[in-house]
Every structure is written in C-alpha cells, then in structure tokens.
Amino acid sequence: MLFSSVVFLFLFLPAVIFCYYIPGKKLKNTVLLIFSLFFYAYGEPKYLLVMLFSIVVNYILGLFVDKYREDRRKVTLILSLAIIINILIIGYYKYFNFLIRNINTVFKTSISIRDIVMPIGISFFTFQGLSYVIDIYRQNGKVQKNPLNVALYISFFPQLIAGPIVRYETVAEQINEREESLDDFTYGVERFILGLSKKVLIANTVGLIADEVFSASTSDLSVLLVWLGILSYTLQIYFDFSGYSDMAIGLGRMFGFKFLENFNYPYISKSITEFWRRWHISLGTWFRDYVYIPLGGNRVSKGKYFRNIFIVWFLTGLWHGASWNFIIWGLYYGCILTIEKLFLGKYLEKIWRPIQHIYTIFFIIIGWLFFRAETLTQALEYLKIMFGFTKHTFINFQAMYYLKEYKFVLILSIIATLPLYPLIKGKIEEISIGSANVMIKNYIKPIILIGIFILSISYLINSTFNPFIYFRF
C-alpha cells in the first residue's frame, strides 16, 4: 500500500487516525500495531510471517542481552547470534539467487534458481531489528519487556516499507511515553502534504522521462536524450525518496513520534563527502555507528581506515540490491570518498563554489546511471553514449520532444532541490507580526496546503503512473 494511493489516503489513514485518538492512552500502541500489521499484510499477507519471525527473534534476544549483559562471553554470543539471524533473513530473500547465479557463472555449475520473492521493506525492518538488539547491548535504550512494543517499533507503518531507518535509541522513550499535540499533528499534516506533492507532482512527472529513456532501444538514443534520461532520474529518485521520507516523518508526528530527518537538500552539496551527509541520512548514520566505528573508524592506521571505508561502501551498495550494478555503485563512491579524504577535499575547498557544485553533481549523476541501469552492460553502453564514444547523434526527435514538453517541469524540479521553502518560511516568520502572522498561519498557509493536496489527488486520479523506487530495496 503506497502512501500516495487513494486507498491509503481516503480509507486507511482516516481509519487509523480515528481509532488512535478514541481509546485511552494504554491502547494507543495496540491500535498502531494492529493497523501496522494490516498495512504490511495488505500487499502480500504471507510475508507478514517473515516480519513476525524477525520481531519474535529480536525481542527474545533483546531480553537475553539485557539479562546476561554482565557475562561478557554470553552477551557476545547472543549479540553474534542476533547479527547472524538477521543477516540470514535478509540474505535468503534478497541475495540467495544472486549468489547462486554467480556460483553458476564462475564454476560453470547448474544449480537451480529458487522462486524467491523478496518481502517489501525487508532491508528496513531487518536493520531496525538489529538496531534494537545492538542498542540494548550498548544501553542506548531500555529493553522492552512488552513484546507488543518491540513489534510496534519494527512494524510501525510510516517507516516500515521505505524508512527512514529509525534507530531504537531515537524512539525508545517515545514508544512508552509520548505526548500528542495539535501543533505536532498540524505540522505532521503539513509535512505529509509537502511530501505527497514532491512524490506525485514532481517525481512521477520526471520519472516518465527516465523510464522511457531507460526502456528504449539503444539505437533510438542520442547523446542529449541519455543526458535528459539520467537527469530526470536524478530528480526522480530525490523527490520520490525524500517525498516518501517527508510523508513518513509527517505521519509519525501525527501520532506523537519524532523521527530524525533523512534528507537535507543533498543536491546543494559542494563535495561527495557532503552529499552523503545530506542524502539518506538514516542509512549513512546506521552504517557509521554499527559498522564503520566498530571496525575502528578513522582511529586506525591509514590502510585500515581506507579498508573500513570500502567495507562500508561495499555493504551500502549490496544493501540496495542483489546486483553487480549496486556493488559497483557502492565501490564507486568508496573510491571518490577515499580520493577526497586523501587529497582532493582540501583542494576543493579552495576553488570557486559553482565549480564545487558542478563537480559534485557530475559525479552524482554518473553514480545514478549505474544505480538505474538494469545491467552493468547497459550502464557502460549509456556511459559511452553520454560522452560521445559511439556513433549516436547528439540530438534526436525524442530529445527535442522532451525538451519542449517538459522544460518547465525540469526547470522547476531543479529549483525545488534548493532550500527555498525553509528560507521563504523563515523570512515570512521574521517579518510577520500581529494580525499578519495570524492571517498567514490560520488562513493563507492552510489554503495553499489544501490547494497542493487537491492538485496532488487530481494527478493521482488521472494518472496510472505511480511507482516508488525504494520498494525495490
């Protein structure tokens, strides 16, 4: 069930809000849990059992970690068991067939491929299950004696399917004690509508261009068309995923949960290092705190330091999907980040800022090419076309059509990657006093938000194109 679907917007969400605010405080978590389990089971009920197994295992192991924390040998064994079980869960459903295909290729064997369908959101709820056990071990949150609370943490529907990855230490106290307020609920609604508009009005529109370009025959491409396709995808994945994160954060706030930000205008970055501090923040901090730092971080020899970077980025690529494209994509960023940390970073800081931005966006776009392409062969073929290493024409009719029909959408999308909304909002709050402030807050802003919401719904009703990129992961 997509947040940007009519079923969610007009049936599921009103029902959960209504039921949540009727019962007393003790039943609110139960209401959220019931709706969260239904939300996950709506698409494919049988995979609910996989998530329930993850919940039960991590709940029991969390109790054991808390019970035996003074016994170093036992608690290490329990923690290792938690890591192994969670990796096996995600490993079987996400990577088993990938492993078999590579074994068959390398050793010329013919091991049969299994008919395995990956449960939606497995990468996210598995990482949250691990976060629960590890944070209990580190005493970054109290163990939950009530299994329903662990179930709610792992299955909570706003962040269940596509994040942000909510670490247990972030919401440990909120699960048991949180306060809802009208201001929080209003902010949640505002954030949800803005996220919905980013996903529906921008991501879906530019996504049409990207999908058509990447599904076209190589012979039908031109240099400009490939650049338009990958630029469209660069915009699509940002507005698709950040829009979904905005909706998740807004939904959480409606029920009193305060999730951390997941995006911070990443396309204004002046280096790749800065980009990864701004993009998918919850994933980056998860790997930093649960993989990079335990490996020694940067407090080791230079060789081990760069080894740690490449381990993290290999795993980051692999986390996104069972494909060599994703692994190459992860190692690609590992290489660039290593070069920046070795010597390039200090030179970047000294050059003209627009050049810093051009450098960053250029390498981001190349990275998204490997991320979007169906195969490594396709990615390399598109790369050759982009830089004129083939006999393809520079421009063709289809490229001209997209430039003519979508130029305003593309321009507005690029402008929307800039932090203009918080800037304008801050300026209005600075100059608005007295009755003017009341007018803006109580009348103008609600009217604008309602208008954006109606426009988004109109688009949803009139369009059949409503994909979500991160459902793949």
Question: What is the distance between the alpha carbons of residues 341 and 305, in angstroms, rounded to a whole number?
Answer: 10
Count CB-CB contacts under 10 A for residue 252. Answer: 24
Rounded Cα–Cα distance for residues 62 and 236 (Å) = 39
Task: Please report, for residues 251, 266, 418, 458, the alpha-carbon distance to residue 190 in angstroms, rounded to integers and kept in the order given.
Answer: 10, 21, 19, 18
Kindly provide the b/e burial profile for residues 80-109, where b requires at least 16 CB atoms within 10 angstroms of the residue's own CB. eebeebbeebbebbbbebbeeeeeeeeeee
Distances from the Cα of 68 to the Cα of 3, 61, 77, 136, 427, angstroms: 41, 10, 10, 11, 54
How long is the chain?
A: 473
Is the CB of residue 472 less than 8 Å from the CB of residue 206? no
Give yes or no for a contact between 382 and 217, defined as CB atoms under 8 angstroms apart.
no
Helix axes 25-41, 13-21, angle to 10 degrees: 160
Residues taking part in catalysis: 320
Cis peptide, bond prior to residue 164, ω within 30 of zero: yes
Round to whole Å and give the CA distance between 356 and 464. 39
Q: Sign of the C-alpha dihedral, residues 313, 319, 321, 322? A: positive
